[in-house]
Amino acid sequence: AQKITQTQPGMFVQEKEAVTLDCTYDTSDQSYGLFWYKQPSSGEMIFLIYQGSYDEQNATEGRYSLNFQKARKSANLVISASQLGDSAMYFCAMILMNTGFQKLVFGTGTRLLVSP
């Protein structure tokens, strides 16, 4: 069965600095997708970025980039130029592409606090 591990329960960063949130995954499947979601205090899960297992280039979406290291089974999220509004919970998640639908498996999350 697949598993997502996020070892950082909390991270602090100063405004305008970059921060890396760690994520490792475990699966024996070759075809999978990795996601990062942001969950502010309002509770909604907001999609940030996606990386497919066969994508050769690291995904980027604005200030978000995904540092995908397949051999190490890691998919760290890098947020550049942090903003106060980035303070939230961040979840790494995985799907298996051969199941016919997106059954997301989430990690336990990392709480990010951005200070002025």
Note the residues at the interface with another protein (CB under 8 A): 4, 37, 42-47, 50, 91, 93, 97, 100-109
For another protein, the closer CB: 44 or 56: 44
Please state, in angstroms and rounded to a whole number, the distance separating the CA atoms of residues 12 and 14. Answer: 7
Q: Which is nearer to another protein, 11 or 45 (CB)?
A: 45
Which one-letter amino acid corresponds to residue 9? P
CB-wise, 46 or 71, nearer to another protein?
Answer: 46
Tell the smallest beta-carbon distance from residue 16 to another protein (Å).
29
To another protein, the closest distance from the beta carbon of 15 in angstroms equals 26
Contact 115, 13 (CB under 8 A): yes
- Containing 113, the helix (H) or strand (E) segment is strand 110-115
Min. distance of Cβ 22 from another protein in angstroms?
14
Comparing CB distances to another protein, the nearer of 88 and 93 is 93
How far apart are the C-alpha atoms of 71 and 44, rounded to whole Å? 32
